[in-house]
Structure 1
Amino acid sequence: MARPTSHRATQPERTNLYREITDRIIAQLEAGCVPWVQPWDSGPGAVAVAMPRNAVTARAYSGINVMLLWAAGVAAGYRDQRWLTFRQALSLGGCVRKGEHGTGIVYADRFTPADERRRADRDGGAVRQVAFLKRFTVFNVAQVDGLPANLTDPLPPPREDLVMPRFRMLMEASGVTIRIGGSMAFYRPSDDVVVLPPPEAFHEPINFHRTAAHELSHATGHRSRIDRLMKGPRGGPCYAREELVAEISAAYVCASLGIVPTVRHADYIAAWLQVLREDERAIVRAASHASKAADRLLSRLALAEESSETVGNDGERTPIPVTARETQHLQDRAA
C-alpha cells in the first residue's frame, strides 16, 4: 500500500477523519443517543447483539470501528454483524448489489514525514513518526449476492442458559478482588478492589452483570494490568475520559457475551461532550483503550473456559457452566 510522503499532504485527511468521527459521535450524544448502546430490538428479525466481525477472516473489529459498524447495522436493519470488503466479496464469488453503499471505517497507522527523515539524517536521534487514520469501506453480508451459505446463514444466538454463568466465570477469571455488599458499585484503585451490591439489589438480575462489566473495565487500568492513566479529581476531564473508556468497554464485553449493553452513567454525557469538543481524537483514543480493556477480560474468560472443558461421551469438548453453588461461592469468597 502506498504511503503518504509528507506530513503536509496527509494533514487534511487525518484531521477530516478525526473531526468527522467526533462530530458524528457528538451529534448522537446531543440527540440523546449513546452510540455504544444501540437501540436493539428483541422481536423476530431483530438486529443481532454481537461484536462486528470480518466475514472472511472472522477477526473482530475493534476500537471506534465497532461503534461505526453498529450504527450502520442498526440504521439499515441488518440482522448480521459480519462485514467484508468489495475485493473480499469478489474473491468468494460474490458481488455487491448495484446501488448498495458501503460503510466507512478506519485503521490507525504511522508514517515518517520526509522532512523528519532529513532531520534525523542531519542531526541524529530517533526518527519521530506521525499517527494517522486511513479510511476504507466494508459491506454487510446482507448487501452481497452469491456468497457461500456459511457466510449468509443466520448465526445461532448465544445460549441464554449460559450467558450469566459465562459472565460469572469472567468475574472469577478477571484476577480482580470483588466484594459483594452495600448499595454502591465502584472500583477502588488504592487497593485494587471492585465493590458491587448483591444481585438481588438490582431490578433485573442482568444489571448486576452489566454493572460488574463497567467496574471490571475500570480495574483493567490498574498498573499491574494495562496501566492506563486514571488519575484526576471526580468531575475533571481525566475522570470523564476514564468513565468513557469503562462505559464503552462494558458495552463491548456485554455484546461479546450476548448481553444487550446499557448506559450506566448517563449523567456523564455533558462531561463526555466537553471532552470530545476539546479534543477531536478523544473518542478514537477512548474506543481504543476500551477495546484493550474488553479484550483483556474476554481473553481471561477464554483461558478459564479452556481449562474447565471436559471431554463428553461423544468426544466433543463442552464447557462446564458455573453452577448456583459456584455462584454462591463467588459471593461468599468476595464478601
Structure 2
Amino acid sequence: MSDPNACARAGKDRANIYTEITDKIIAELEAGRIPWVQPWGTAAIKAPLAMPRNASTLRGYSGINVLILWGAVIECGFSRQSWLTFRQALGLGGHVRKGERGTTVVYADRFIPEDERRRTAETGEEPGTIPFLKRFTVFNIEQCDGLPEDVAGSVVPPPPDQIEPQAESLIAATGADFRIGGARAYYNTTGDFVQVPPPAAYFEPINWHRTAFHELSHWSGAASRLARDLSGAFGSKSYAREELVAEMAGAFVCASLGIVPTVRHADYIGSWLEVLREDNRAVVRAASAASKAADFLLGFQQRPIASVDEGDEVAA
C-alpha cells in the first residue's frame, strides 16, 4: 500500500539537504573562511593539494562534493584525498574500521510527480521531471583497513618545476584570445577576449596564473562554449553568481595543476552571502557550473582528466 505522505517527506528531505549544505557554506564565509580555498601546505594540513577522487574508480568528485570532501579532510585531519563507499572498501578486500563516521556527499537524481504521470498518460507527452539531491556516505581511505597498497597509496603531486610550464601550456591550449597588458584583469564578453596584466604586475608570479584561470573560467561561460548567463551588470545578483562560479572553477583548475588556490575577489563575499541566503540551491548550482567550467578548461590538456563520478552532484 502506498504512503500518501511519502512524497511530502521526500520533498522535505530534499529541501533539507540543500539547506544543510548552504547553511554550512554560509557559516564558513561568515567566519572569513572560503570553502574552495584551503590552507594547503601548512603544518595544520596533512593532506596534499589535490582534487578528491574515488579510490576504487579513480574518478574525481565534482561540484559541491569537492567542497564537502575538502572540508572533511581539513576537519578530520586526513592525509589523503581518496574516498570509498562502504561496499567499495569491501569489494577491494578491505573494510571500514568499526566506529568510523562517514562523510555525506550528494548526487543528483530526478523524479516524476504523480500528477505529471497521470497528465502524460492521458496526453501521450513526455513527462516533466524534477531534479533533486540524494545522499550517500563515503569514507576516507584512512578510515579503512586491509586495502591493497596501490589503493592506499598517496596521490603524487606534480614536480614544482613543472607546475608553471603546465599552467602556461594549458592557457595556450585553450585557444582563447588571451591578451597581456593593462592594469586590470577581465573577460570582455563583447569581444570574447581575456585580458590580464603582465606577470611583473603581480607580487608572486603564480598569482598571474591564478588570475588567468579565473578569467578563463568566465571565458568558458560564453554562449559558444558552456552558455552561462554572463549578462549581469556589476553589483547585480547574476554578476555575483557568475563570480562565485569563476572563483570555484579557478580554484578547481589550480588544485588540479598543483597550484594552491587563493581568493581572487574577497570583496565579493558580501554579495555571495546575499545570494546564498536568498536561494538555498545557489551554491550547489554554482559549484556544479564551476566543475563543468574546470573540466572544460582542463579538457584542453593532452592527458584527459578524470570524468565525473556517476555518484557526483550535477546541476539540480
TM, length-normalised to structure 1? 0.87
Q: 2:169 is matched by which residue type in structure 1?
A: M
* Structure 1 position 9, deviation (Å): 4.1
| Superposition deviation, residue 144 in structure 1 | 0.3
Give deviations 1:175-195, integer Å, cap 9, x for gaps: 211110111111101011100
Residue of structure 2 in register with 1:223 after alignment: 223
Q: For the residues of structure 2 that align with 1:178 and 1:291, how far apart are their CA atoms? A: 22
| Aligned-partner SS, 2:299 | helix
- d(CA) in 2 for partners of 1:304, 1:116: 40
Tell me the amino acid that sits aligned with residue 136 of structure 2: F
Give 1:105-116 correspondences, 5 Å limit. 105-116=105-116
- Deviation at residue 131 of structure 1 after TM alignment: 0.7
**Amino acid of the residue matched to residue 157 of structure 1?**
P
Q: 1:173–1:304: 8 Å Cα contact kept in structure 2?
A: no
User: Equivalences for 1:270-309 in 2 at 5 Å?
Assistant: 270-302=270-302
Larger RCO (alpha carbons 8 Å, 6+ apart): 2
Aligned residues: 302
Query: Which piece of structure 1 moves more, 82-91 or 149-158?
Result: 149-158
Q: CA deviation at 1:45?
A: 7.1
Measured against aligned partners, the alpha-carbon deviations of 1:227-265 in whole angstroms (never above 9, x if no partner) come to 111111100000000000000000000000011100000
* Inter-CA distance 188–274: structure 2 relative to 1 (3 Å threshold): same
Cα distance in 2, alignment partners of residues 23 and 304 from structure 1 = 35
1:142 aligns with 2:163: no
Q: How does 1:70-81 map to 2 (within 5 A)?
A: 70-81=70-81
> Which amino acid is the alignment partner of residue 76 of structure 2?
A
SS where residue 228 of structure 2 aligns? coil
Deviation at 1:122, TM superposition (A): 2.3
Deviations 1:216-236 (A, max 9, x none): 000000111111111111000
Q: Residues 217 and 246 of structure 1 are in contact (CA less than 8 Å); yes or no, is this contact kept in structure 2?
A: yes
Task: For 1:127-206, list aligned pairs within 5 A.
Answer: 127-206=127-206
TM-superposed deviation, 1:5: 10
1:123 shift after superposition: 3.8
Query: Take 2:174 and 2:92, find their aligned partners in 1: how far apart are those partners?
Result: 39
* Residues 6, 115 of structure 1: 8 Å contact kept: no
Relative to structure 1, is the Cα distance of residues 187 and 5 closer, same or farther in structure 2, using a 3 angstrom cutoff? farther
- CA distance in 1: counterparts of 2:175 and 2:59, whole angstroms: 26
**Aligned-pair CA distance for 1:105:** 0.1
Report whether the alignment pairs 1:53 with 2:53: yes
Q: Which residue is equivalent to 1:257?
A: 257
Q: CA 1:28/1:45 → structure 2, altered by over 3 Å: closer, same or farther?
A: closer
Identify unmatched segments of 5+ residues in structure 1: 306-335
Deviations 1:142-183 (A, max 9, x none): 110110011112232211111001100110111211110111
Q: Secondary structure of 2:301's match? A: helix
Moved more, 288-297 or 223-232: 223-232
Structure-2 residue corresponding to 1:121:
121
SS across alignment from 1:301: coil
Query: Per-residue deviation at 1:100?
Result: 1.1
Distance (whole Å) between structure 2 residues aligned to residue 127 and residue 7 of structure 1: 17
Letter in 1 for 2:213: A
How far the C-alpha of 1:304 sits from its partner, in A, is: 9.4
> TM-score of the superposition, structure 2-length normalised?
0.92
Contact 1:107 1:134 in 2 (8 A): yes
Which residue type is aligned with residue 252 of structure 2? Y
Partner of 1:134, secondary structure, is strand
Could you say if the C-alpha distance between residues 6 and 44 of structure 1 is closer, same or farther in structure 2, counting changes exceeding 3 Å? Answer: closer
**What is the percentage of aligned positions where both structures have the same residue?**
57
Deviations 1:256-303 (A, max 9, x none): 001110000000000000000111100000000000000000011236
Is residue 249–residue 291 contact of structure 1 (8 Å, CA) maintained in 2?
yes
Partner in structure 2 of residue 25 of structure 1: 25
Residue 237 (1) aligns with residue 237 (2): yes
Q: CA distance change for structure 1 residues 152 and 232 in 2, over 3 Å: closer, same or farther?
A: same
Mapped to 2, the partners of 1:37 and 1:165 lie a distance apart of 22
Question: Cα deviations across residues 49-85 of structure 1 (Å, max 9, x unaligned)?
Answer: 1000000000000000000000001111111110000
**1:74-113 to 2 correspondences below 5 Å:** 74-113=74-113
Structure 2: 5+ residue stretches without partners: 306-316
